[in-house]
Structure 1
Amino acid sequence: MSETGNSQQPLSGQVALITGASRGIGLAIARSLADQGADVVITARQQEGLDEALSSLPDSAVGVAGKADSAEHQNEVLGIIAERFGRLDMLINNAGINPVYGPLEELSIDAGRKMFDVNVLAGLSWVQQALAAEALDLRGHRGRVVFLSSVTSEIPSANIGFYGITKAAVSHLTRTLAVELGPEIRVNAVSPAVVKTDFARALYEGREEQVAADYPLRRLGTPEDVGRAVAFLVGDGADWITGHVLTTDGGLVTAGGTA
């Protein structure tokens, strides 16, 4: 819930942390929240990419490089937020990986473990660390947590099956945390279909019209589509919504399409 905002910038005075936000969906989320007045802190693996992303964000934005699944990195970021802003209102767990492509029978178990660590356990760890940081008072500020799931959590997708399995875990993690952390904290997720990013390029490059033909809205998603969905979930308009996985897919699942 907005505490100090106004109708033009309803998130003014609030602080958002977005992981995996040097480009693509994460950066679009950061921009959407910043447009509504939030101070944003973004993370990614490379400082160079973060510096470029910061050039498109307000001067108050902060970028901290590190691995999303590193407890040391998480503590560093939360310490910087405590020192710089003295509060945390929104945690957006966007960081994720999908380093393998192919059927499950060929999946490297080590690669699968790494995917689960980054896509699922890292997000839970960010939540745990943020709750433990008393200086940030996530509960006291009626905190909001948003995870990035995927429609591959709902419908099997050839060759990226384990990615979908990790995202199914993210969706259930979202619902479980919503029950455990209410009423002070709302927890929701956004579940996109194919979004036009470098991360998803292999799923549509060279055949975008063909892929989009399965979507009732006849187009693929953009990072901005997801950014606006996240902005809705952290805003006052979603103040009675928690434990919800918001499918943001141009109608693909409803139409019976495949991811």
Structure 2
Amino acid sequence: MTQQQSGGAADAPRAADSGRVALITGASRGIGYGIAEALVARGHRVCLTGRGEEALQDAVEWLGAGRAIGVAGKAHHEEHQAEAVARTVEAFGRVDYLVNNAGTNPVFGPIADADLGAVAKVYETNVLSALGFAQQTYRAWQREHGGAIVNIASVAGLSASPFVGPYGMSKAAMINMTMQLAHEFAPVVRVNALAPGVVKTKFAVALYEGREEEAAAGYPLGRLGVPGDVAGAAAFLLSDEAGWITGQTLAIEGGIFLNAGVG
């Protein structure tokens, strides 16, 4: 992966609040890596998590020595959550920011036919892991020192979406969890969410592969998203520039909701 492939977020100017530390889940590629790249460009250091050790180490190498570490594991395992937070604090002395990006979507089709075990797995990864990481980060550092959390939700959590109902339901739960955490963690920790539309990543490839032009035609801005579109918004919500914003969900969706009710 190159900076160009992730949307060029690493070229952004550094913010005044540089020198902080972020833990980013599901960050060996795609949106998570794009956010890591954007934060490193702003002078921050990062801990990346993901399931694949080799992919994580490649991502750490791309970000540069001393700027990143990787901790492999399954996001919904409490032991992995605790280890990732502990190793972040051990390596960098702090953990100011958390980005809950890890997610899964193995269930496609009508929810009337959905396997409930598979739906439970979606919630386990997309909701419970995010809550677990938020708890661990808050207890280890943020409760005493402050910080910010950004949850990566989806436009599927803001409206009904054909064929990905369980995924959208889990992201709706994440959006509500964002508000709940924002209320409980205030005033020391801000918590917000981003709700991307279709972003060109391996995770979403089934939604546009072989039909990108057709998929993009539904977006008023005329294209699908790239990781850098989400990364810039995440970097802003984590920064002091967003110091009076909490409990909000920002849709990053190329204007797709402008088409609601049209036709």
Match of 2:129 among 109, 122, 127: 122
Partner Cα separation in structure 2 for residue 19 and residue 186 of structure 1:
18
- Structure 1 residues 219-255: Cα deviation after superposition (integer angstroms, max 9, x where no partner): 0000111111100101122111000101000001122
Q: How many angstroms apart in 2 are the aligned matches of 1:139 and 1:38? A: 20
Corresponding residue of 2:8:
none
SS at match of 1:20: coil
Pairing 1:110–2:117 present? yes
Task: Determine the C-alpha separation between the residues in 1 that align with 2:217 and 2:115.
Answer: 33
In the alignment, structure 1 residue 97 sits paired with structure 2 residue 101: no
Partner of 2:54: 48
**Aligned counterparts of 1:80 and 1:64: Cα–Cα separation in 2:** 8
Match for residue 151 of structure 1 among 155, 165, 182: 155
SS at match of 2:257: coil
| Cα displacement (A) at 1:158 | 1.0
Alignment gaps of 5+ in structure 2: 1-12
- What is the rounded CA distance, in whole Å, between the counterparts of 1:141 and 1:10 in structure 2? 18
Which deviations, in whole Å up to 9, do the C-alpha atoms of 1:106-164 show, x marking residues without a partner? Answer: 1110001111011001100111112222xxx2133321011010000112111111100
Compute the displacement of 1:257 (Å): 8.0
* Deviation (angstroms), 1:52: 1.3
Q: Would you say the 8 A contact 2:14–2:41 is kept in 1?
A: no
> Comparing both structures, which one devotes a greater share of its residues to helix?
2
2:254 to 250, 253, 256: 250
Task: Show the 5 A alignment for 1:201-240.
Answer: 201-240=205-244
1:79-94 matches, cutoff 5 A = 79-94=86-101
Tell me the percent identity: 49
Query: Taking structure 1 as reference, are residues 251 and 257 closer, same or farther at Cα in structure 2, changes over 3 Å only?
Result: farther
Contact 1:11–1:33 (8 Å) recurs in 2 = no
TM-score w.r.t. structure 1 length? Answer: 0.93
User: Are 1:37 and 2:43 counterparts?
Assistant: yes
- Equivalence for 1:75: 82
Return the offset for 1:56: 1.5
Q: Which runs of 5+ in 1 are unaligned?
A: 1-6
Q: In structure 2, what is the Cα distance between the partners aligned to 1:8 and 1:211?
A: 34
* Distance in 2 of aligned mates of 1:11 and 1:255: 37
2:25 maps to 19
Contact 1:9 1:35 in 2 (8 A): no
Distance in 2 of aligned mates of 1:177 and 1:103: 31
Native 8 Å contact 1:214 1:257 kept in 2: no
1:115-194 equivalence runs, <5 A:
115-133=122-140, 137-194=141-198
- In the alignment, the residues of structure 1 paired with residue 232 and residue 14 of structure 2 have an alpha-carbon distance, to the nearest angstrom, of 15
What RMSD over aligned residues (CA atoms) do the two structures have, in Å?
1.4
Q: Which moved more, 1:68-77 or 1:16-25?
A: 68-77
Q: Structure 1 residue 59: deviation in Å?
A: 1.2
Q: Distance in 1 between matches of 2:96 and 2:220?
A: 35
Query: In the TM superposition, what whole-angstrom CA distance separates every residue of 1:202-235 from its partner, at most 9, and x where no partner exists?
Result: 1111111111111110100001111111001011
How many aligned positions are there?
A: 249
Q: Where do 4+ consecutive residues of structure 1 move more than 4 Å?
A: none
TM superposition shift of 1:9: 4.4
Greater shift after overlay, 7-16 or 156-165?
Answer: 7-16
